[in-house]
Structure 1
Amino acid sequence: MKTFRSKVLPHILLIAFSLLMIYPVIWWVGASLKPAAELSLPTIWPSDPMWENYSNGWNYSNQHSFGRFFANTLLMELGNVVGGVITAALVAYGFGRLNFKLRGMWFAILLLTMMLPTQVTIVPQYILFNNFGFTDSYVPLVLPHFFGGGAFFIFLLVQFIRGLPRDLDEAAKIDGASVYGIFFRIILPLIKPALVTVGIFTFIWSWDDFFGQLLYLSSVSKFTVGLGLRMFIDQFDVQWGQLLAMSLLSVMPSALIFMFAQKYFVEGIATTGLKG
């Protein structure tokens, strides 16, 4: 009985909980293969799967397929992740290792910006980008990531950097390393788990930023996946089968990235803020 409680029962509970969590995904897959008439039925799997929901959804527009929307989104994500990771690491290194005047005040201001809701800054940002002529382009969606990458990511990396022994910096200085040499040769390799965490969060959050994409992009040729999904909904009808099929494909990149980078993601979250 004791063996059952200590070994078997936890596995049973984990399996049951996993099935409960994965059930919506199973329903999602089944619903993406259903005809419109079966969507309201309580069955999980359709009687006659409509695999053409995927092909029809992929080629829903005569001029632009979902392959174009995926390519647009991935290109935008590449700029967001690269810019966000590099600049967040640089700014965090300054706050975490360098001594300069009013460092505490500037860091406090940085943390205060985390408390501002997006609705407060979205209007002045739109006016600014519109005056520069950057609307209907990816610049408003990518450029902010090249200016620090976001207060949350800077704070996360600062906590990670502060946990690294300063003796490493002193030893590098004795060997003649400059400030930038210490950053690229010492700090950057040691904060790789935190950088992967920042990259994953940046990718997922910007991928899901439907409001920003809707606000700045108006040309169909520049649509992202989120805006492409919106094309299945009009004032007269909703192509539910195709919408569910393409929405299922739209979550695959985030799921795959999280799956393959899970080791670094868990390590970055587990060790950030627990040292120093």
Structure 2
Amino acid sequence: MRLRRIPVISHAILLALTVSMLYPVAWMVASSFKESSSVFVDAASLIPNQWNFDNYINGWKGVAGVTFTTFFKNTFLVVGISTIGSVLSSAVIAFGFSRIRFRGRNLWFVCMMLTMLLPYEIVMVPQYILFNQFGWINTYLPLIIPTFFGTPFFVFLMMQFIRSIPYDLDEAAEIDGCNKFTTFVRIILPLILPAMMTCVIFSFYWRWDDFLAPLLYLNKVSLYTVSLAIKMFSDPDNVTDWGALFAMSTLSLIPVCAAFFAFQRYIVEGIHTSGLKG
């Protein structure tokens, strides 16, 4: 009898945690259909008294004459290019650390891992000064170019996959006349695909939600990403259009949710499986 209670209690705890995590999202979606004046009046209710679909129409009109079509295009451009650059460059770096012997390899690996301990706020000022000297301010270059030099977490993740791949495959490829680049492209890259897809998902999430970096480097409204555009609906000196703000926030979740449900199997597979499949 006591053993039967344990699953019931565990399921009840999980259900309570699930509700506590989903409630803010449900509240945001419900508020996107309310009048701005009634969002916080009947905040406890998840069902609007009167459904207002104009929030999505007014919100999509954007700000300063720029619609959310432009903001979404800007975000997909930055997120797409930076994700490709981050994942591919990290795969190359992981292959170099795992398969190529060179002087100071362990030292450089430790230095790379130490960068994971540095908060972005520490390097924010020197990076801004550097990019300002390059003339990159008010462009997407500060958001994209650094990603082509690898991401330490992705490098570490893919290194674990590469190390699980028998070195005999590299030797067999070398006997067949493959150099290091060909071995990486034809042998290693297909085998670490689950890890790469996991990195793609994480990179997509991180870049899509990024607010601070675009805020630092982008000054023109026409260049804004979705996160910056949503912030413009909030005006402390004037009346905030909460309905439009929550409506666009709800739409901004769609690409993230779509990416998760499309590639969710790679998250588990990329973390728990090895790089070699039988």
Do both share a fold (TM > 0.5)?
yes
Conservation of the 8 A alpha-carbon contact between 2:63 and 2:229 = no
CA shift, 1:270, in A, is 2.0
Please name the residue that 1:167 is paired with: 168
- Structure 1 CA distance for aligned equivalents of residues 264 and 205 of structure 2: 14
SS in 2 for 1:64: coil
Cα drift, residue 21 of structure 1: 3.2
State yes or no: 1:84 paired with 2:86: yes
The AA in structure 1 aligned to 2:183 is I
CA deviation string 1:114-172 (max 9, x = no partner): 11221111111111111111100000000001112x11111111122111111211221
Alpha-carbon distance in 2 for matches of 1:31, 1:272: 44
Q: CA deviation at 1:38?
A: 2.2
Q: Does the CA-based 8 Å contact 1:157-1:272 persist in structure 2?
A: no
Query: Matched residues in 1 for 2:156 and 2:4: separation?
Result: 45
Residues 272 and 236 of structure 1: CA distance in aligned 2, closer, same or farther (over 3 Å): farther
Alpha-carbon spacing, 1:122–1:65, altered in 2? closer, same or farther (3 Å): same
Change (3 A) 1:52 1:120: same
| Count of paired positions | 272
User: Which residue identity is paired with 2:62?
Assistant: Y
Residue pair 2:64, 2:221 contacting (<8 A) in 1 also? no
TM-fit CA distance, 1:80: 0.4
What are the superposed Cα offsets for residues 150-197 of structure 1, whole Å, 9 maximum, x if unpaired? 111111111221111112112211222111111011110010111011
Distance 1:63 1:38, change over 3 A: closer
| Shift in alpha-carbon separation, 1:151–1:272, aligned structure 2, 3 A | farther
Tell me the residue number matched to 2:240: 238
Q: Would you say the 8 A contact 1:194–1:272 is kept in 2?
A: no
In the alignment, residue 236 of structure 1 is paired with which amino acid?
N
Gaps of 5+ in 2: none
CA distance in 1, matches of 2:129, 2:10: 55
Partner of 2:69: 67
**Displacement, 1:29?**
1.1
> Where do 4+ consecutive residues of structure 1 move more than 4 Å?
1-17
Match of 2:262 in 1: 260
1:126 aligns with 2:151: no
| Cα distance in 2 for residues equivalent to 1:238 and 1:157 | 45
Q: Does the 8 Å CA contact 2:33/2:48 hold for their aligned counterparts?
A: yes
**Could you tell me how far apart the structure 2 residues matched to 1:140 and 1:60 are?**
25
Seq. identity, %: 46
Separation of aligned partners in 2, 1:106 and 1:15: 45
Question: Which deviates the most, 59-68 or 75-84?
Answer: 59-68
Write the distance in 1 (CA, Å) between the matches of 2:176 and 2:246: 59
Identify which range, 1-10 or 12-21, moves more after superposition. Answer: 1-10
Partner residue in 1 for 2:37: 37
Distance (Å, rounded) in 2 between the aligned partners of 1:199 and 1:265: 10
Q: What's the CA shift string for 1:81-121, capped at 9, x where partnerless?
A: 11111100001100011111111111111111111221111
State the AA in 2 paired with 1:152. Answer: F
Distance 1:20 1:113, change over 3 A: closer
> Residue 34 of structure 2 aligns to which amino acid in structure 1?
K
Offset of residue 22 of structure 1: 2.3
Q: Give unpaired runs (5+ residues) of structure 1.
A: none
2:23 maps to what in 1? 23
Root-mean-square deviation (Å): 2.1
Secondary structure at 2:117's aligned position in 1?
A: coil
Q: Which residue of 2 aligns with 1:114?
A: 116
Q: TM-score, normalised by structure 2?
A: 0.91
Equivalent-residue separation in structure 2 for 1:205 and 1:168 (angstroms): 34
